[in-house]
Amino acid sequence: MDFDFSPVVTNWRFLASGLVLTIVLALASMTGATLVGTAVGIARHYGPRWLGLVLALYIDSMRAIPVLVVLVLPMIVDIQLSPFATGLVALTAHLGAYVAEIVRAGIASIRPGQTRAALALGMSRVQVVRKIVLPQAIVRMLPAYGSILSITIKDTAIATVIAVPELMRQSETIAAQSFRPLEVFTTTMLVFFLLLFPVTRGVDAVYRRVQHLGRS
């Protein structure tokens, strides 16, 4: 079999534009998911029972529905958004549910005695969460959070179904025009690997350096 990577070389700027959008979408989605997930996780752990039930419904729904279905929900309910905004909202809502469970589990892993001791010393509930619980919980959440970060980068490829011109969409266009899908998608696979590998190794390296801060 002859391999011809000339379509990739010729259209590298086209692919690069898709890569930039992939990175932007991943960063924006992860930022939104982190904010949503942290708020939901804290509220579910410390909030009243009725609020916990409502948030549990959101979390279970997002984890049960495929991300592809979440992606087309705005169109189903006739909300007019740009393809990029639709992808951003869908990924944020979907991944936020996973982040919320990571946050809740991290908070729950902190020994209750620390909270009771801090309250007995006169600290408020907010101070306890901000100064004692979260600093330790964040360290414990790092490995799971790193996995979600990797999943976020990969899930941006799903946005191709709503015509977001990210890396996978651009790759499909070049593959269809050049009739060289093997070479094009092999290149795309390598690009995703080169993007993800430093991220996963970087999170692991950070965790190894700070894991002692999460011990109690």
Is residue 4 in a domain? no
Which residues have CB under 8 Å from 28's CB, separation 6+? 88, 92
How far apart CA 118 and CA 53 sit, in angstroms, is 28
pLDDT of residue 1: 61
**If you ran DSSP here, which 8-state letter would residue 51 be given?**
H
Residues 6+ away with beta carbon under 8 Å from 129: 42, 46, 107
Is residue 72 included in any domain, yes or no? yes
Q: Is residue 1 part of a domain?
A: no
Task: Provide the CATH number for the domain around residue 155.
Answer: 1.10.3720.10
Helix/strand/coil percentages in the chain, nearest 5: 85, 0, 15
Instruction: Return the structure tokens found at 210.
Output: 């700070």
- The pTM assigned to this predicted structure is 0.90
> How many domains are there within the chain?
1
Tens-place pLDDT, residues 40-99: 999 999 989 999 999 999 999 999 988 888 887 777 777 778 889 989 999 999 999 999
H helices within the chain, ranges in order? 6-10, 12-46, 49-64, 67-76, 83-108, 112-120, 125-128, 134-155, 167-178, 181-210
Cα 18 vs. chain centroid, distance in angstroms? 19
Is residue 90, in this structure, part of any structural domain at all?
A: yes
On whether residue 115 sits in a domain, the answer given is: yes
> Has residue 169 been placed in a domain?
yes
Report whether pLDDT(37) > 90.
yes
- Residue 2 falls within a domain, yes or no? no
Tokens matching residue 180:
């060289």
CA distance 159 to 162: 6
| Domain assignment of residue 94, yes or no | yes
Tens of pLDDT, residues 96-117 = 999 999 999 999 988 888 888 8
Nearest to 157 by CA among 87, 54, 97: 87
Domain that holds residue 81: 10-214
